[in-house]
Homo-oligomer: A and B are copies of this chain.
Amino acid sequence: MNEVLKAIKSRRSVRAYRQEQIKQEELEAIIEAGIYAPSANNQQPWHFTVIQNSDILRYINEKSKEQMAKSEIDGIRNMGANPILDITYQAPTLVIVSGKRDSITWRADCAAAIQNMLLAAESLNIGSVWLGLVNFLFKWEGEAAKLGIPEGYEPYYGVAFGYKAKESQQNAPKRDYDVVNYIK
């Protein structure tokens, strides 16, 4: 199996990180992997907000949870009210990926960029996890602008990055292979 297939198969979501910050050149390689995703008509409709300031990470966590605690969905509301939960898992780096609203397929393009970043991180032995809950932050008016997300861009997902707390990594969860229909 080649290195690419190996990274795809062995990567799993990491939710426990060392506090040591990842190196700037590692971060740049990860971001570059994101911007090398394909996009419809080569519109490259993405923007990356890299947050490594611990006060701002704490603020994002608290403000997101405050909105989660108001959710109509029980599971979300309970997580929002959980004082121990850190929605970015104390990772030292959070990247928020935003998409350009007036481009054709910005959500799919941004998702491809995120997947590239996850694999790039894995190839550098850096842990990562795709984050949905960070989006609750943007239920507060003005938070996107405060983080410098440009006008016309919509925050889509967050991704946490950091060195893995555990050296040895469990296998990725078992996959269902019965999801293919062949027409030959």
A24 to chain B, nearest CB (A): 9
Are B38's CB and A13's CB within 8 A?
yes
Confirm or deny: A137 has a beta carbon within 8 angstroms of a beta carbon on chain B: no
Q: Which chain A residues (1-54) contact chain B, with CB distance < 8 Å? A: 2-5, 7-9, 11-13, 29, 31-33, 35-38, 40, 42, 44, 46-53
A156 and chain B: residue at smallest CB distance? B108
Candidates B4, B149, B182; contact of A7 at CB < 8 Å: B4
Number of interface residues of A (CB under 8 A): 62
Are A179's CB and B115's CB within 8 A?
no
Confirm or deny: A157 has a beta carbon within 8 angstroms of a beta carbon on chain B: yes
Considering the chains assembled together, what is the distance between the CA atoms of A12 and B38 in angstroms? 7
Q: Which residues of A are at the interface with B, using a C-beta cutoff of 8 A?
A: 2-5, 7-9, 11-13, 29, 31-33, 35-38, 40, 42, 44, 46-53, 56, 104-105, 107-108, 111-112, 114-116, 118-120, 122-124, 130, 132, 147-149, 157, 172-173, 175-177, 179-184
A27 to chain B, nearest CB (A): 9
A33 and chain B: residue at smallest CB distance? B8
Considering the chains assembled together, what is the distance between the CA atoms of A105 and B12 in angstroms? 18
A148 to chain B, nearest CB (A): 4
CB contact under 8 A between A183 and B35, given known A7-B4, A44-B175, A44-B176 = no
Candidates B108, B119, B181; contact of A8 at CB < 8 Å: B119
CB contact under 8 A between A119 and B118, given known A4-B7, A5-B33, A51-B183 = no
Candidates B40, B42, B111, B181; contact of A132 at CB < 8 Å: B40
Are B118's CB and A181's CB within 8 A?
no
A52 and chain B: residue at smallest CB distance? B184
Which residues of B lie under 8 Å from residue A49 when comparing CB positions?
180-181, 183
